[in-house]
A and B are shown apart, each in its own frame.
Chain A
């Protein structure tokens, strides 16, 4: 795709070629500062949950702007829907991770993982399980899987994410897709690492990093299998039924915080 011709819609502006770069950059940086293989992320110590959430939000906003750029009905439809879903999913994501950070006393992700390693009994606590439920819903929504969005649909009217990036072709589509794939991988891995951090490298030695990579791959594949199972077992929800699902996720995450505070 990288060697194909670049096509731009007639009324599009500089936003159209810029948005894929922003999407990719926000995903790459979110991955770079996340503790995936090791509790010492690739880049610095700013692995704060707020940074990652808002980096992903930046990517979504860039995609939504790209959808509006060409001035077509489909692009606007996709942007509007994606932003609506994002606006409802993002609070649940933030509050669910805050439930974890209350237990650990820090909003720094490696900090949360290290303290979970030290207290294995937390994992099956009620607060953790509620937060897990909320995060699962959010991850499905944020990555656009069934029942929230169908990434393989060919009918424009049912599209959410695909409608937004309908105008992309060639190398720009490649960048967007790469960014989205990294985002999916990141969210799956974070979901796995936040709840089952075992296997993650806590010291920057070669052996533990190789082991950490292997464990991460295993865990991410397991999460992916779980999500695939959900996709197979369920049908896509009507757009206006989605708020109920996402509100459910939000309520779960608030309950997780409350139980976390009560059982502290």
Chain B
């Protein structure tokens, strides 16, 4: 534990140095201390996952009344692994990125506090400690969204949405934990876990429902996702990366910790609810990602998609565990956990790359980008690999985890309860549907953003970003490749984390080695062999291509159907690329399209100008949240009527309230 505390202290030191040092020192020093702290935390998490030890720490000095309790078990360590790895990259990235508002004292200090809380939340082991770290995480990220308001005018409304949702979520979590605390006699997780069985089933389900509500809103599960596509894009890029890769994982962590560990699994219906949330999120997120034209918004929606897949895995694991299928449950949980780490790496890399693009070209609107591969080849390489991982290209990390998830779901069909089977089926369908949609979204993101010709002066003048930013992005590409090519190396670590999550001692159906082999079901993938084969064929193709032609390629004009003129304006844009899918799924997306034609005065056959506008707004926001907000405002205005400022009236209210209390109590 001493090492983990040292890691946390380094992050605190980083925050203090950011607050104290002069401008030119504060960025590199805080980045150095912060990344060192994250590296240490990574090492601790690794050693806990390898040895299976559980370390604890309690200090009465840190928090008043209850003190701070930290416990790191393999489940928590797995999530620390994810957030510390991304934390290193975010800190290093900041060296090159932090300029202007992001290099200010406040922003840098908050940033380091945010990194610190992401390491501390999975280790918190009492209600008070968890809520303290949780709220600190929410507050620091909320303020970080507001860092650069002058350049991001939408940040203020995004922060408002985020603030409202995260506070409502925290209240729900607190209430749920209090329900559990009420008969436990203590507020440590150990007490809660020991006394959970004594709660009545209704109260247990009530507590789980509240906690699910709170944590799934942080994870960005539909329909509690509305804040996510607003808040993640508006934050500075290293913050977006941490929010999207680590903070949403904390929501998943909370569901697993409370549902599986503290409440011991509960009933099948809880997990069916979790998996259904996952199915809806996966489909909704993937669909919106395909039509988004803002690069970071696209990434934010794709986060909702992946979180959905993770929740399908968690839900399937819980339901199967409750039905007695422990081995398959273990497999599904393994898949969910692997996907969390894989997603943390590739989404972190993509958000950092989006920040690099924004820094280099001044925009993140795909319709204004293009041709960046020529000026930013390294960033382009990072995006290709990470996008490949998210599209589940075999031999990259997304594929390994999705394959495991499919194995879990397929063998979940053997369970006898019909509702569980239906959920498994929906999970498989969601997995299949999102696969194709994600491919469209990321072919669009890379193809429109990085290939072709520049669509704006900003994109034309883009230059590669500083080395520290490139290094940070490169660091996050490592897991995508490692988990993709030799996923078997992580199996022992995954087994410990999954066993600690499901609270069972079932041996994993996964065999050890470098490949993923589920011997019991005759399923196997051998990505390392696949890589060798792919490289061999590509080399052969290269020889065929270069060797026989024996000439450098001649540059010619692209085919334009006989016309001479080709301007960048004629290219497909992100909007037009996704237009066919937008039409196909018009019932879900409800796009609003306006075409306005102004004719020349002399003849109706010639147009003077043509305006086309296409908007895709979040249906759930427009139909679900707006009426809710309007109703809340109405109630607020109604309440104003009884609050006229007269001191006599308030005294009368107080008197009546006292009477009511006396009557009720007496």
Cβ contact of B439, chosen from A61, A69, A108, cutoff 8 A: A61
Q: Which of B385-430 contact A (CB under 8 A)?
A: 388, 391-394, 399, 402-403, 406-407, 410-411, 413-414, 421, 425, 428-429
Does A130 sit at the interface, judged by CB under 8 A? Answer: no
CB pair A8 B554 closer than 8 Å: yes
CB pair B583 A240 closer than 8 Å: yes
Does B194 sit at the interface, judged by CB under 8 A? Answer: no
Residues of A close to B443: CB separation below 8 A = 61, 64-65, 68, 79, 83
Residues of B close to A111: CB separation below 8 A = 522
Q: Chain A 42-78 against B: per-residue CB contact (8 Å), 1 yes, 0 no?
A: 0111101011011101101100110111111111110
Complex Cα spacing A43 to B578, Å: 37
Residue of A nearest to B403 (CB): A50
Does B570 sit at the interface, judged by CB under 8 A? Answer: yes
Complex Cα spacing A87 to B391, Å: 12
Q: Which of B535-552 contact A (CB under 8 A)?
A: 535, 537-538, 541-542, 544-545, 548-549, 551-552
CB pair B452 A68 closer than 8 Å: yes
CB pair B545 A15 closer than 8 Å: no
Does B440 sit at the interface, judged by CB under 8 A? Answer: yes
| Contact status of A10 and B410, CB under 8 A, knowing A76-B576, A171-B549 | no
Residues of B close to A156: CB separation below 8 A = 561
Cβ contact of A72, chosen from B440, B442, B526, B571, cutoff 8 A: B571
Cβ contact of A17, chosen from B374, B410, B545, cutoff 8 A: B545
Q: Chain B 199-215 against A: per-residue CB contact (8 Å), 1 yes, 0 no?
A: 00000000000000000
Does A222 sit at the interface, judged by CB under 8 A? Answer: no
Residue of A nearest to B535 (CB): A25
Q: Which of B220-266 contact A (CB under 8 A)?
A: none
| Contact status of A5 and B554, CB under 8 A, knowing A71-B571, A80-B576, A98-B410 | yes
Does A3 sit at the interface, judged by CB under 8 A? Answer: yes
Residue of B nearest to A42 (CB): B533
CB pair A72 B560 closer than 8 Å: yes
Q: Chain A 202-225 against B: per-residue CB contact (8 Å), 1 yes, 0 no?
A: 000000000000000000000000
Q: Which of A65-113 contact B (CB under 8 A)?
A: 65, 67-77, 79-81, 83-84, 86-92, 94-95, 98, 101-102, 105-108, 111
Q: How far is the CB of A183 from chain B (nearest CB, A)?
A: 14
Cβ contact of B394, chosen from A3, A13, A55, A76, cutoff 8 A: A55
Complex Cα spacing A53 to B371, Å: 30
Does A230 sit at the interface, judged by CB under 8 A? Answer: no
Does A243 sit at the interface, judged by CB under 8 A? Answer: yes
CB pair B541 A45 closer than 8 Å: no
Q: Interface residues of B toward A: which range? A: 35 or more
Complex Cα spacing A108 to B520, Å: 12
| Contact status of A26 and B534, CB under 8 A, knowing A50-B402, A91-B436 | yes
Q: Chain B 504-532 against A: per-residue CB contact (8 Å), 1 yes, 0 no?
A: 00000000000100000111111101100
Could you count the A-B residue pairs with CB atoms below 8 Å apart for me: how many are there? 262
Complex Cα spacing A86 to B558, Å: 25
CB pair A167 B432 closer than 8 Å: no
| Contact status of A91 and B548, CB under 8 A, knowing A68-B452, A166-B559 | no
Q: How far is the CB of B117 from chain A (nearest CB, A)?
A: 36
CB pair B452 A74 closer than 8 Å: no
CB pair A6 B553 closer than 8 Å: yes
CB pair B440 A76 closer than 8 Å: no
Residue of A nearest to B577 (CB): A80
CB pair B448 A68 closer than 8 Å: yes
CB pair B391 A91 closer than 8 Å: no
Complex Cα spacing A136 to B99, Å: 57
Complex Cα spacing A80 to B406, Å: 28
Residue of B nearest to A23 (CB): B541
Does A192 sit at the interface, judged by CB under 8 A? Answer: no
Residues of B close to A89: CB separation below 8 A = 436
Complex Cα spacing A167 to B446, Å: 19
Residues of A close to B393: CB separation below 8 A = 54, 57-58, 61
Does B3 sit at the interface, judged by CB under 8 A? Answer: no
Complex Cα spacing A45 to B301, Å: 36
Q: Which of B20-73 contact A (CB under 8 A)?
A: none
CB pair A64 B447 closer than 8 Å: yes
Q: Chain B 433-459 against A: per-residue CB contact (8 Å), 1 yes, 0 no?
A: 101110110111011100111000000
Residues of B close to A167: CB separation below 8 A = 558-559
CB pair B370 A7 closer than 8 Å: no
Residue in A8, A53, A68, A70 whose Cβ sees the most chain B Cβ within 10 Å: A68
A-B contact pairs, 11 of them (CB 8 A): A6-B545, A24-B541, A32-B533, A54-B392, A73-B572, A80-B576, A90-B432, A171-B545, A239-B580, A243-B584, A254-B429
Q: Which residues of B contact A (CB under 8 A)?
A: 290, 370-371, 373-374, 388, 391-394, 399, 402-403, 406-407, 410-411, 413-414, 421, 425, 428-429, 431-433, 435-437, 439-440, 442-444, 446-448, 451-453, 515, 521-527, 529-530, 533-535, 537-538, 541-542, 544-545, 548-549, 551-561, 566, 568, 570-572, 576-581, 583-584
